[in-house]
């Protein structure tokens, strides 16, 4: 057998399905996982679908010490006509490989990633929830498996994909949230790892998220790490402003994560003829436009929520109420179009969706 | 039995001791490890010394995804008169807890840390190498053990200590090294996690280290992440300059790691009456002093090497040769004094060393 051929070992001990109305996010996992290994001699090899199972690691394994990991996040959807759809998965492969490159991790071939993912989904297809708004969250990740405490890239890695049926992000309809403008903590800075989906970027934000929660806000507005002036992201989402009929989003500046939802929204707006610009935007510019009553909508974008309207910014003692805490028309239209394409309800003129056929590739 | 009492289970299957002349760093591990667990109900509990063994984790365990880990590094030394000495271990506990606080990890009591460490060393005492320059490297670390993909602090953790007999850093005598001045990549920035010993800070430096190695330099000189002007650290060490008879080291500015060797050197210099200042120092200031032939010595400081003299800085196409690539007198004297105190050869007037007695605490 070729070392590139995917082997499949099915569980003999399937788990009970969770209640589709109480899935939450990333709490339940399916019966199987995809794994492949890397070493210098063999490259990425031994791709396999195996029963979902623990990973056993020596305590000196590098993953516990120096954080050389990358991950991705995407979803599979059950369409009304019974198909299984992925949304632009090749963009996740590209981003994973950009993350790998920043972290000195060997890149993964698109074909190896996608065929592994599709085989895994075929095996666990009946785990995809079908209730409105639910989906199958896909978490590919890479960890270093070398046992050694030297501070240097590992010589061996594991690539793993796990699947989690997840609930609707908006069981009671889209709900604009309050956002705390963060001036003390920094998520990422030019020259750092902000453009990569790597573990250390996420725990670095917990302190600011705690401050936001304690002040009653749902998320953090991240400013640039250098001047603490320019808007970067909101929580783990990209951010868009509609000001005077024009849509603005922070340009990719070397510290912002390049969201696939962000990219898709820019393409949609262009298709619709709505002016959209990627440029620097400072919080001061927002405040000025706000005072002149030119701010129409603000929303975050990401795989989990798709669109998350911002109802309010809090900066020190000032509150900036946006669109009277209502979801704006553009936010609504974008949400419906993207989720419509993702779930096959709306014709996909962009060729964004990829079907996972019943068997074979 | 109280949940704070340390239980000891000894291995029945001890490993062969590695060759004391080829220990390297962090390659070999002793027969036992110390572990304790945290959950919200019980706090840190079930401290235990157990046979060195793998850790088994669900693939959705937070440690693989969001990097919420902290670690420490210190050493135990075998003194000529047969005692086992630790060097300022309470400073490592303090720093671990500062790291925990930045990463939203529950802090560890000094007593729990130190009694766990001492018990472990008592069990594995005959693993401490006795050859000149060797020691037992101690790696305490904390990882989140909750199984969940939400981006938030975990509710459960494991604290682990492993021990590695390590070789002399300078088997052929202290050797000044070349350092590449890094302008593109950033290790840490104010508001980020640079002051914490957390995994993500280390893998973030691999790319710059690779550039340094490719240019023939041994390490990276990190500049501040904001102006790329001020000197912060060298590799995973703090840095000192001797200019015009005065010693200068970058001040703790919110992105530099607070080294325990750094702290000890400042205290030693003060004791010796050598002027030492903690302040901002730019690479331009170094260049000016260099051109005026006022730079006498430059050295990095850290647990692994204690003192690592800088023989040369490389900045773009310019090389700055320091002290004719020789180890300076102050570097030598500091190295000999600190290693002398650590190994009990020199009387410890500061009360820095802590003896691990043969049994009991
Ligand atoms: C930091 C950060 N920003 C933005 C995003 C949004 O990216 P995407 O639209 O690809 O989900 C994510 C989530 O993936 C993220 O982790
Ligand atoms: C980033 C960094 N700076 C400096 C140091 C030096 O600290 P210490 O002297 O406590 O070993 C270390 C190593 O611990 C480190 O990881």
Share the mean pLDDT of chain A. Answer: 96
Chain length of chain B: 361
Query: Tell me, what's the pLDDT at A104?
Result: 98
- Within-domain flag for A360: no
Do the Cβ atoms of B202 and A56 come within 8 Å?
Answer: no
SS3 of residue A80 by DSSP: coil
Cα separation, A103 vs A91, whole angstroms: 18
In a domain, B350, yes or no: no
On whether both B142 and B195 belong to a single domain, the answer is no
Number of domains in chain A: 2
By Cβ distance, the residue of B54, B143, B200 closest to A204 is B200
Query: How many angstroms separate the alpha carbon of residue A69 from the centre of ligand 1?
Result: 16
Angle at B100 between CA B98 and CA B104, to 5 degrees: 125
In the predicted model, is pLDDT for residue A132 greater than 60?
Answer: yes
Residue A361 is predicted with a pLDDT of: 41
CATH number at residue B183: 3.20.10.10
Together in a domain, A20 and A147 = yes
Q: What is the pLDDT of residues B150-192, one digit of tens each?
A: 999 999 999 999 999 999 877 777 889 999 999 999 999 999 9
Whose atoms come closest to the Cα of B151: which ligand?
1
Is B277 in the same domain as B329? yes
B302 within 8 A of B264, measured Cβ to Cβ: no
How much is the pLDDT for A168? 82
Ligand 2 atom closest to residue B238's alpha carbon, by position in its atom list:
4
Same domain, A156 and A58: yes
Average pLDDT over residues B69-87: 97
Closest atom of ligand 2 relative to the B303 alpha carbon: 11
Please classify residue A293 by burial: count the beta carbons closer than 10 Å to its beta carbon, then call 0-12 exposed, 13-18 middle and 19+ buried. Answer: exposed
Q: Residue A149 falls within a domain, yes or no? A: yes
Half-sphere exposure of A222 (CA within 13 A, CB side): 32
Furthest-apart CA pair in chain B: how many Å? Answer: 68
ipTM of the shown complex: 0.96
Shared-domain flag, residues B163 and B17: yes
Residue A360 has pLDDT above 60, yes or no: no
The residue of chain B nearest to residue A58, with distances taken between CA atoms, is B54
CB-based contact B199 A54, cutoff 8 Å: no
Pair B125, B14 in one domain: yes
Asked whether B342 lines ligand 2 (CB < 6 A), one says: no
Residue B274 Cα, gap to closest chain A Cα (Å): 33
Please check whether residues B126 and B220 belong to one and the same domain.
no
Q: Which ligand is nearest to the CA of B255?
A: 2
Taking residue A135's Cβ as centre, other Cβ atoms within 10 Å add up to 28
Distances (CA, A) of B59 to A28, A32, A159, A164, B211: 12, 11, 11, 12, 33
**In a domain? residue A353:** no
* Ligand 1 mutation pick, A222, A302, A334, max ligand atoms within 8 A of CB: A302
Q: What is the pLDDT of residues A237-290, one digit of tens each?
A: 999 999 999 999 999 999 999 999 999 999 999 999 999 999 999 999 999 999
Q: Which of A25, A64, A73, A190 to mutate to test the interface with B (most CBs of B within 10 A)?
A: A64
**A-contacting residues of B 39-78, CB under 8 Å?**
52-60, 63-69, 71
Between the CA of B303 and the centroid of ligand 2 the distance, in Å, is 7
Structural domain harbouring A188: 177-342
Residues A94 and A71 in one domain: yes
B33 Cβ under 8 Å from any chain A Cβ: yes
CA-closest residue to ligand 1 atom 7:
A259
Indicate whether B219 pLDDT > 50: yes
Cβ atoms B341, B352 nearer than 8 A = yes
| Same domain flag for A329 and A221 | yes
* B26, B59, B205: residue with CB nearest A55: B59
pLDDT of res. B2: 65
pLDDT at B68: 98
**Model-level pTM?**
0.97
Chain A closest-CA separation from residue B193 CA (Å): 6
Q: A2 pLDDT band (50/70/90 cuts)?
A: low
Regarding whether B234 and B322 lie in a shared domain, the answer is yes
Question: Does A103 lie at the interface with B, CB-CB under 8 angstroms?
Answer: yes
DSSP A175: -
Q: Is residue A347 assigned to a domain?
A: no
Q: Are residues A284 and A156 in the same domain?
A: no
Q: Which of A52, A69, A190 comes nearest B64 by C-beta?
A: A69
A150 chain-B contacts, CB cut-off 8 A: 25-26
- Listing DSSP states for A48-72 in one string gives EEEE---EEE-TTBGGGTT---EE-
Q: Indicate whether residue A205 lines ligand 1 (CB < 6 A).
A: no
Report which ligand 2 atom has the smallest distance to the Cα of B91: 10
Question: Is B125 among the domain residues?
Answer: yes
Q: Is A211 within 8 Å of A183 (Cβ atoms)?
A: no
Q: What does B148-198 look like in DSSP terms, one character per residue?
A: --SSS--SEEEEEEEEEEE--S-TTS---EEEEEESS--S--TTSSTTS--
Which residue(s) pair with B55 in the sheet?
A57
User: What CATH number did the domain enclosing A143 receive?
Assistant: 3.30.470.10
Q: What is the mean pLDDT of residues B261-273?
A: 98
Give the C-alpha separation, B70 to B105, whole Å. 8
Q: What is the pLDDT of residue B282?
A: 98
The tens digit of pLDDT for each residue in A76-90 reads: 999 999 999 999 999
Inside any domain, residue A357: no
What is the model's pLDDT at position B358? 85
Min Cα distance A97 → chain B (Å) is 15
Q: Does A14 touch chain B (CB under 8 A)?
A: no
Find the ligand nearest to A304 CA.
Answer: 1
Pocket-testing residue among A70, A92, A232, A238, ligand 1, by greatest number of atoms within 8 A of Cβ: A238
- A23, A36, A59, A201: best mutation site toward chain B, by most B Cβ within 10 Å? A59
Protein residue whose Cα sits closest to atom 5 of ligand 1: A237
Confidence of residue B238 (pLDDT cuts 50, 70, 90): very high
- Among A203, A212, A223, the strongest candidate for a mutation testing the B interface, having the largest count of B CBs within 10 A, is A203
Residue in B closest to A184 by C-alpha: B191
Among residues A103, A132, A167, which one ends one of the domains? A167
Q: How far is the CA of A234 from the centre of ligand 1 (A)?
A: 10
Domain termination residue (choose one: B108, B141, B167): B167
Nearest CB neighbour to B226, from listed A205, A210, A226: A226
Q: Which of A26, A57, A201 is the closest to B55 by Cβ?
A: A57
The percentage of residues in chain B with a pLDDT greater than 90, rounded to a whole number, is: 94
What CA–CA distance (Å, rounded) separates B262 from B249?
Answer: 9
Looking at the fold, whether B206 and B314 belong to one and the same domain comes out as: yes
Question: How far apart are the CA of B361 and the nearest CA of chain A, in angstroms?
Answer: 26
Q: Terminus-to-terminus CA distance in chain A, angstroms? A: 18
Tell me, yes or no, whether B353 lies in a domain.
Answer: no
Which numbered atom of ligand 2 lies nearest the CA of B263?
Answer: 9
Structural domain ending residue among the three candidates A167, A199, A222? A167
Q: Using one digit for the tens of pLDDT, what is the confidence trace for A320-330?
A: 999 999 999 99
Question: For ligand 2, is residue B255 a contact (CB within 6 Å)?
Answer: no
Confidence of residue B361 (pLDDT cuts 50, 70, 90): very low
Indicate the residue of A29, A69, A188 with minimum beta-carbon distance to B67. Answer: A69
Asked whether B259 lines ligand 2 (CB < 6 A), one says: yes
| A186 close contact with B: CB closer than 8 A | yes
Residue A81 burial by Cβ neighbours in a 10 Å radius (0-12, 13-18, 19+): exposed
């Amino acid at each position: 057998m070729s070392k590139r051929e995917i082997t499949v070992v099915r569980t003999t001990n399937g788990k009970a399905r969770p209640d589709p109305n109480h899935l939450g996010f990333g709490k339940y996992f399916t019966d199987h996982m995809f794994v492949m290994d890397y070493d210098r001699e063999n490259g990425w090899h031994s791709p396999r679908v195996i029963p979902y199972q623990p990973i056993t690691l020596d305590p000196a394994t590098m993953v516990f010490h120096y954080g050389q990991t990358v991950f991705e996040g995407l979803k599979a959807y059950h369409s009304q006509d019974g198909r299984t759809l992925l949304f632009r998965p090749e963009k996740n492969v590209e981003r994973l490989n950009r993350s790998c490159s920043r972290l000195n991790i060997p890149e993964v071939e698109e074909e190896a990633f996608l065929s592994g993912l599709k085989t895994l989904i075929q095996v666990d297809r009946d785990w995809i929830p079908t209730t409105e708004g639910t989906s199958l969250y896909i978490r590919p990740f890479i960890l270093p498996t070398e046992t050694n405490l030297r501070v240097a890239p590992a010589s061996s890695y594991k690539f793993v994909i796990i699947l989690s049926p997840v609930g609707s992000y908006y069981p009671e309809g889209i709900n604009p949230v309050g956002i705390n403008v963060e001036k003390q903590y920094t998520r990422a800075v030019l020259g750092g790892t902000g453009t990569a989906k790597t573990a250390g970027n996420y725990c670095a934000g917990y302190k600011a998220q705690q401050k936001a929660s304690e002040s009653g806000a749902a998320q953090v507005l991240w400013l640039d790490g250098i001047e603490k002036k320019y808007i970067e992201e909101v929580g783990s989402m990209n951010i868009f402003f509609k000001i005077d009929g024009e849509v603005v989003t922070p340009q990719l500046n070397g510290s912002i994560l390049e969201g696939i939802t962000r990219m898709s929204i820019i393409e949609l707006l262009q298709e619709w003829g709505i002016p959209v610009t990627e440029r620097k935007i400072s919080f001061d510019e927002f405040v000025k436009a706000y005072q002149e009553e030119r701010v129409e909508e603000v929303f975050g974008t990401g795989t989990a929520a798709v669109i998350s309207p911002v109802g309010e910014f809090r900066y020190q003692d000032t509150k900036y109420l946006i669109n009277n805490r209502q979801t704006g028309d553009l936010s609504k239209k974008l949400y419906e179009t993207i989720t419509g394409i993702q779930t096959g309800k709306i014709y996909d003129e962009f060729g964004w969706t990829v079907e996972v056929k019943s068997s074979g590739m």
